[in-house]
């Protein structure tokens, strides 16, 4: 049976022992590490920049999935590429030059992603599907971990999965926000290829136990 890739978001990790937490995730068998970069302008929160991405690059071989929640993302693409990102995703709402940004990421030798917020029509990215390695559908309003999944997202995932099957089947559909063992199967069956999971993986329980629960939730439902 096909399985979604699991990309833990470090937003709710213990930053005082970040390297240890990332190694724990790698040993538990996650697929990617998802890095939430926030600038206090595009979203009402601040996290970290290329220096921290570079430090994380030094502790894991897993693909680094860098999610830029920043204004004017095109100014920083080179910095994140140099820091060791494998995939770089920015928001369609954050720039009038999305196509140029995607081309630049590819020139830098990285996989290119475009994200949309819950309130943004999918059309903000569907015309660019042929250019994308990854399409990210936010299932919470970006800025904070630990929020509730917005139910209308499931229909958006289905519509986007259908479109990408025709326009660019290689493009991965990633969903980010509020994913738990209880709703992971619904989101996967709607068409998600990559699940970004923060607080359901990085919490007080051991990550391996949380990952097992998440996968249990997916397997309990019938395959897609």
Ligand X SMILES: O=C(CO)[C@H](O)[C@H](O)COP(=O)(O)O
User: Which residue ranges are tagged as binding site for substrate?
Assistant: 9, 67, 143-146, 176-178, 198-199
Residue among 175, 176, 184, 173 at smallest CA distance from 220: 184
Q: How far is the CB of 166 from ligand X (least distance, A)?
A: 28
Contact (Cβ atoms closer than 8 angstroms) between residue 175 and residue 192: yes
Q: Which is closer to ligand X, CB of 48 or CB of 144? A: 144
199 binds ligand X (CB under 6 A): yes
Alpha-carbon span 167 to 131, nearest angstrom: 10
Q: What is the CA radius of gyration of the chain?
A: 16
Among 48, 57, 143, 212, binds ligand X (CB under 6 A): 143
Among all residues, whose Cβ is closest to ligand X?
A: 198
Q: How far is the CB of 1 from ligand X (least distance, A)?
A: 23
Q: Which is closer to ligand X, CB of 45 or CB of 168? A: 45
Question: In angstroms, how far is the first alpha carbon of the chain from the final one?
Answer: 8
Instruction: Look up residue 163 and give its two tokens.
Output: 């479109």
Token pair 């030094």 is found at 58
Interface stretch with ligand X, choices 19-27, 94-102, 138-146, 185-193 (CB under 6 A): 138-146
Among 31, 65, 133, 176, binds ligand X (CB under 6 A): 176
210 binds ligand X (CB under 6 A): no
Among 4, 50, 145, 217, binds ligand X (CB under 6 A): 145
Beta strands in 101-177 (DSSP E): 111-116, 134-138, 172-176
Contact (Cβ atoms closer than 8 angstroms) between residue 80 and residue 53: yes
Catalytic pick among 31, 39, 65, 176: 176
Token pair 């071989």 is found at 61
140 binds ligand X (CB under 6 A): yes
Q: Is 176 among the catalytic positions?
A: yes
Q: Is 14 among the catalytic positions?
A: no
151 binds ligand X (CB under 6 A): no
8 binds ligand X (CB under 6 A): no
Alpha-carbon span 115 to 99, nearest angstrom: 13
Residue 114 to residues 50, 52, 160, Cα–Cα distance (Å): 19, 22, 13
Contact (Cβ atoms closer than 8 angstroms) between residue 22 and residue 10: yes
Which helix (H) or strand (E) is 79 found in, with range? Answer: helix 77-83
Catalytic pick among 36, 65, 133, 193: 36
Interface stretch with ligand X, choices 53-61, 82-90, 126-134, 140-148 (CB under 6 A): 140-148
Instruction: Enumerate binding residues for ligand X (CB under 6 A).
Output: 9, 11-12, 36, 67, 140, 142-147, 176-179, 196-200
List residues with catalytic annotation: 36, 176
């Amino acid at each position: 049976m096909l399985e979604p890739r699991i990309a833990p978001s470090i937003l709710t990790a213990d930053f005082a022992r970040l390297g240890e937490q990332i190694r724990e995730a790698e040993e538990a068998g996650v697929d990617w590490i998802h890095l939430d970069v926030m600038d206090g302008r595009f979203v009402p929160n601040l996290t970290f920049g290329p220096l921290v991405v570079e430090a994380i690059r030094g502790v894991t071989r897993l693909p680094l999935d860098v999610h830029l929640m920043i204004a004017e993302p095109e100014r920083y693409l080179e910095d994140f590429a140099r820091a060791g990102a494998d995939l770089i995703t920015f928001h369609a709402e954050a720039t009038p030059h999305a196509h140029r940004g995607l081309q630049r990421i590819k020139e830098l030798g990285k996989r290119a992603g475009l994200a949309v917020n819950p309130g943004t029509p999918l059309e903000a990215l569907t015309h660019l599907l042929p250019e994308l390695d990854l399409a990210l559908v936010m299932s919470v309003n970006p800025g904070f971990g630990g929020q509730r999944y917005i139910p209308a997202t499931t229909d958006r995932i289905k519509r986007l999965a259908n479109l990408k099957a025709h326009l660019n089947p290689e493009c991965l559909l990633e969903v980010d926000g509020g994913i738990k063992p209880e709703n992971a199967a619904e989101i996967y069956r709607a068409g998600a290829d990559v699940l970004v999971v923060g607080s359901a993986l990085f919490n007080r329980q051991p990550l391996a136990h949380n990952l097992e629960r998440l996968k249990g939730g997916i397997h309990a439902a019938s395959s897609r």
